[in-house]
Structure 1
């Protein structure tokens, strides 16, 4: 198996068009290709910077020629859950013509889309990439050839991976930003190149406050890591 991660700008994709014009992003929750209708049915989570950007982006999406069907399933503030049917794009036709298949969810932001695509052999993958380059802007972000034990381990440990992802989602914005700044600044290195004092200055708070945010973030992530380790076992 050849596993590709592609950053692709499809000129005929309604999701790309919406993110190109408006400040929002689409994350695929579920997708399925209908061979009879030659359309991709999907459920997407849409997140925008604010309610206005969400309204504008959904308007662009609904007005695109490539959108065959649309339904707003739910909405809260600047986040929406939608169901769509999209006609087969040139890029998707290329993937399917070369016996390729999607191996993971897509993510669309700033006018480009991140795809995870699989092929059974390198010849099919190379042929698809060559054709994709003719009609789309494509960058190969990663190319891997996992062996059978690695594939088996990936499938078996999806639950552990989701546990870690949920841990990241549990973090508040302040906790996440504090952890990121601490790691990037070298707080956890030995010797430290950042201190509680420098972190406190960065966020304009007291040392006890930044220490509290660090400890809360670390506790949440460590608890999830332990859960993931247990699932791996």
Structure 2
């Protein structure tokens, strides 16, 4: 299986048009493409930059000419879970007619959409990408080719992967940016290529604050990693 991570700009997508005009982002939770009806039914999380931005974004989404149905399932502050049905876009039609399929959730923000698309062989992939170029703007950000063994391993250990992902998501913005800066600047290299003092100067905080942010981030990531390793070991003994 060939798995592509595509940064997409469609010119007939209601979600992309809405995020172009309003400070709102969408993340797919569930989706169902009906090729006979030429429509896509989705459940999404909509997150606005504010309550007003969320309301404005949903209003614009409902008024889009390619939107068939848009309703709110739940709403709290600037976040809502919504259900939608849209007309099949050119890109969706192109992927489907060239043997492609969606392999993961898609995210839409700032007029761009992140797609995860799979193909069974190189020829289908080449034809689909060539057709996409005619009516869409896109960049292939990543490409993986997975054999049956790798796919089985991925599916078998999906719970471990989800646990590790949740551990990373539990990082606060400060913990994440501090952790990233430390890694990129060689703090964890031997010998170290940066110091706590240099990191503190980069964030304009004290050396103690940087150390505490790193330790909190390390604890969260290591706890998730150890839990994932335990799950892998349990799977081996079954």
Q: Same fold (TM over 0.5)?
A: yes
| 1:31-50 map, 5 Å | 31-50=31-50
Distance in 2 separating the partners of 1:209 and 1:91: 47
For normalisation by structure 2, the TM-score amounts to 0.90
Structure 2: which 5+ runs fail to align? 234-238
Distance in 2 separating the partners of 1:119 and 1:179: 35
Q: Secondary structure at the match of 1:105?
A: coil
1:114 aligns with 2:103: no
* Root-mean-square deviation (Å): 1.7
Q: Secondary structure at the match of 2:199?
A: helix
Q: Secondary structure at the match of 1:186?
A: coil
Between 214-223 and 121-130, report the one with greater CA deviation.
121-130
Checking the alignment, whether the CA contact within 8 Å between 1:17 and 1:60 is kept in structure 2 is no
Relative distance call for 1:203 and 1:138 in structure 2 (3 A) is closer
Aligned to 2:71: 71
What is the CA deviation profile of residues 30-89 of structure 1, one whole-angstrom value per residue up to 9, with x for unaligned ones? 111134432111111122333333223222211111111111122222222111111111
1:9 aligns with 2:23: no
Relative distance call for 1:213 and 1:86 in structure 2 (3 A) is same
1:141 aligns with 2:141: yes
For normalisation by structure 1, the TM-score amounts to 0.92
Q: CA deviation at 1:160?
A: 1.4
Aligned to 2:236: none
Residues paired across the two proteins, number: 233
| 1:1-233 map, 5 Å | 1-233=1-233
Distance in 2 separating the partners of 1:176 and 1:205: 15
Distance in 2 separating the partners of 1:140 and 1:227: 33
Checking the alignment, whether the CA contact within 8 Å between 1:14 and 1:61 is kept in structure 2 is yes
Q: Secondary structure at the match of 1:104?
A: coil
Q: Secondary structure at the match of 2:105?
A: strand
Q: Secondary structure at the match of 1:191?
A: coil
Q: Secondary structure at the match of 1:171?
A: coil
Between 29-38 and 126-135, report the one with greater CA deviation.
29-38
Distance in 2 separating the partners of 1:75 and 1:193: 47
Distance in 2 separating the partners of 1:51 and 1:177: 26
Distance in 1 separating the partners of 2:6 and 2:176: 27
